[in-house]
Amino acid sequence: MKDDVTRDERVANLKGMGCSRKRVEDARFTQGKGNYVDDIKLDGMLFGDFVRSPYAHARIKNIDASAAMEVPGVLAVLTAADLEPLGLHWMPTLAGDKQMVLADGKVLFQGQEVAFVVAEDRYAAADGIEAVVVEYEELPVIVDPFEALKTDVVLREDTVQDGKPVDGAHGPRKHHNHIFTWEAGDKDPTEEVIANADVVAEETMYYHRTHPCPLETCGCVASMDKVNGKLTLWGTFQAPHAIRTVVSLISGIEEHNIRVISPDIGGGFGNKVGAYPGYVCSVVASIVTAKPVKWIEDRMDNLMTTAFARDYWMKGRISATKEGKITGLHCHVTADHGGFDACADPTKFPAGFMNICTGSYDIPTAFLEVDGVYTNKAPGGVSYRCSFRVTEAVYFIERMIEVLAIELNMDAAELRRINFIKKEQFPYTAALGWEYDSGDYHTAWDKALKTVDYEGLRAEQARRVEDFKAGKTRKLMGIGLSFFTEIVGAGPVKNCDILGLGMFDSCEIRIHPTGSAIARLGTISQGQGHATTFAQILASEIGLPADSITIEEGDTDTAPYGLGTYGSRSTPVAGAATAMAGRKIRAKAQMIAAYLLEVHDDDVEFDVDRFVVKGAPEKFKTMKDIAFAAYNQAIPGIEPGLEAVSYYDPPNMTYPFGAYVCVMDIDVDTGVPDIRRFYALDDCGTRINPMIIEGQVHGGLTEALAVALGQEIAYDDMGNVKTGTLMDFFLPTAWEVPNYETDYTVTPSPHHPIGAKGVGESPHVGGVPCFSNAVQDAFRAFGNRHTNMPHDHWRIWRTANALGLHD
């Protein structure tokens, strides 16, 4: 290294943490050179697709596949009867329930998988599907979870024995269509606090059913090699290792004979965490035919059948002193899970982390109760761009705060401020059990309100109300506030597992002799830019340039075991493993450097990209020198090579937070909202790549806008999906998206090796209530308290109409 390279230049050359390094993935993605599941084409590959139920609830009297077998190119039609001898007609869900792979005597939702047609190509499969004749006997359809808990209609026959409900995976059932009750906090003390409070605000809100809708739908290619007994399964898996274990457990194929590969994934957002019938059927079809079998959903299949998100009826009571200090919170949720409980949550958390619903506030007493219910809707309940049920929790508390502010006749920003957990209270144990690792809410809030000139906005809003009343304008102005605390990075093995698999994660690093490296992780990017950011963590930890480090994920034959990417867990867990593995590399490098420099180990210290002799900076060995030495010199007492692996079990979750403000003008006559400004301050702890963070914030906010303003999976009374195409399912384009202003504070996680907290989901979690609060705030002056999302044009119009704002 020449002397004319300054230390700052050496730091810059690494492109380590804090650098807005351009995404290394984008060269292929922007040129259409990605390699997605549907790009995989193997010799002799077949195509499988489903006959799906047109009915939401029906008994299957007969399936006649004879005509389908006559269709040219059709090779097989699998039904539950074919899978039953293998014990594969049902499969376990991640939530402790089980789910039909193919309809076993009845169907429970529209679009349910009834038969699997295997053909030489997807066109023949489609013709085959048309030719399968299924005789259905329609049954009463239950789409309302409250009705489900009253009706005699039994949706799931396995929930009843001798006329009585049998226990479910999470305890006794209250009714045959009831799945579980889950509680957190203290029931009686909460009731007592609320009963004796100065002020109580009560509200019921429905967080509608929506869908993650990744651009790439779900799919897989299964290839069973009967010669060597190995099954290779490519798929859109957010958790490839967990899928390998699940496939082994349900198929009986030994795990070493299964190789699961997640290639490039076109967005996941929780939709690609669980296991779907298509995976099982493809594997079985490949075993039966001895050929590779591909299954790819189309858009309607994806929207109608693979995992939805939310569908939570939340009833809240919040109590406070007359000065506005919150004293208690009570929340009851009726959770509509559809026909099977296929939520993707850690095993002990059937309602996810809904018990983060005390939010960012110091609420001394609280109680949460969640009842899960079966209905004739598609299964799911995944965390769409959020940690487990955290969007629901944050929406709930951020709406309750607004409702309480109305009850107290107080400014909602001030109400938040006086109830925030204070900086000096961290680590803070919340009433519902979580230990928040760190936070500085007041600083973030003050910065946000100052930046947007909150006082000025309120003054403008007041003038607007006057003008509206005077007939000078037909547009109202809404100021949406939200302050959120996420809980991400699941999670500590002591309380987080999925199907018994602890939710640690991993990184394995190999340094090559010439000073470049490959690192493999147990996670899998779906667009988050892992290949970029994890290399930056390593660059800072081991002193080799990020550009010289390859990051590889998604192949279970090569990557170390990990639980995958969802719930913003990659940076908190695998990112920590990466740093820890890097530190093992550095520890060995230190010994090698000391040997090369002929000093004691303790006499060298790490400096950016090298070890230097303490007090003699001209004496050093770069990491590149050290890497070469590791492979070409016999060093006494040190093994050759430079590799490390780390499995990281996080001591706690991380708790990113943020302060958002949305300013919206609403056309009272047409219900059309116009977002004038959106300010998002995120504190995700240590910032690895500011550019990627900004991109994540933009994406999360856009999905938040979608959910708040129109995106829903709606059913009619017969259980028909009304929003099964992108005509009716709102996926925003550049046209609908406003400009976003991003900002940040930095409060590092005290327990994470590099202080990072995760950011991919924060903007969604904080964004949904912010957009919704803006709509609701616009009508506050006219008596609005709460209206349910989605706030599409006609529902906003309905709010205005109900308040008498139309002639």
Partner 1 sequence: MIPAAFEYYRPKDLAGVLSILEEHGDDARVMAGGHSLIPMMKLRMAEVPHLIDLQDVDGLHGIDISNGQIRLGAMVTQAEIIDHEGLAAVAPILREAALQIADPQVRYMGTIGGNVANGDPGNDMPGLMQCVNATFHLIGPEGERSVPARAFYEAAYMTAREDEEVLTAVTLPVPDGGYAYEKQKRKIGDYATAAAAVQIVKEDGVCKAASIAMTNLSDTPVFSEDACAALLGTALDDAAVKAAVTAMLGDIDPSEDNRGPVAFKKHVAGVILRRAIERAWSRA
Interface residues with partner 1 (CB under 8 A) are 122-123, 125-127, 130, 298-300, 669-672, 710, 714, 722-723, 726-728, 730, 732-733, 735-736, 792-794, 797-798, 801, 806
Q: Which is nearer to partner 1, 735 or 739 (CB)?
A: 735
Give the residue among 100, 58, 48 at the shortest CA–CA distance from 78.
48
Q: Which is nearer to partner 1, 361 or 730 (CB)?
A: 730
Least Cβ distance, residue 214 to partner 1 (angstroms)? 17
Q: Which is nearer to partner 1, 38 or 603 (CB)?
A: 38
Give the residue among 444, 502, 537, 586 at the shortest CA–CA distance from 752.
537
**Tokens in use for 11?**
């730091």
Least Cβ distance, residue 359 to partner 1 (angstroms)? 31
Least Cβ distance, residue 129 to partner 1 (angstroms)? 9
DSSP string computed for 374-434: E-SS--EEE-TTSSTTHHHHHHHHHHHHHHHHHHHT--HHHHHHHHBPPGGG-SEE-TTS-
Q: Which is nearer to partner 1, 8 or 807 (CB)?
A: 807
DSSP secondary structure letter of residue 54: S
**Tokens in use for 561?**
């075991």
Least Cβ distance, residue 668 to partner 1 (angstroms)? 10
H-run or E-run covering 797: helix 793-802
Q: Which is nearer to partner 1, 128 or 381 (CB)?
A: 128
Least Cβ distance, residue 645 to partner 1 (angstroms)? 44
Three-state DSSP class for residue 578: helix
Least Cβ distance, residue 468 to partner 1 (angstroms)? 16
- Whether 800 contacts 671, CB under 8 Å: yes
Three-state DSSP class for residue 687: coil
Q: Which is nearer to partner 1, 298 or 414 (CB)?
A: 298
Residues marked as catalytic: 238, 385-386, 761
DSSP secondary structure letter of residue 554: S
- Whether 682 contacts 701, CB under 8 Å: no
69/85 Cα distance (integer angstroms): 21
CA 655 and chain centroid, separation: 15
Least Cβ distance, residue 293 to partner 1 (angstroms)? 17
Q: Which residues of 240-255 are buried (b: 16+ CB within 10 A; e: fewer)?
A: bbbbbbbbbebbebee
Three-state DSSP class for residue 175: coil
Q: Which is nearer to partner 1, 297 or 440 (CB)?
A: 297
CB atoms within 10 A of CB 34: 15
Q: Which residues of 451-483 are buried (b: 16+ CB within 10 A; e: fewer)?
A: ebebeebeeebeebbeebeeeebebbbbbbbbb
DSSP string computed for 119-140: ESSHHHHHHHHHH-EEEEEE--
Give the residue among 282, 295, 284, 287 at the shortest CA–CA distance from 229.
287
Q: Which is nearer to partner 1, 295 or 566 (CB)?
A: 295
Least Cβ distance, residue 797 to partner 1 (angstroms)? 5
CA 699 and chain centroid, separation: 13
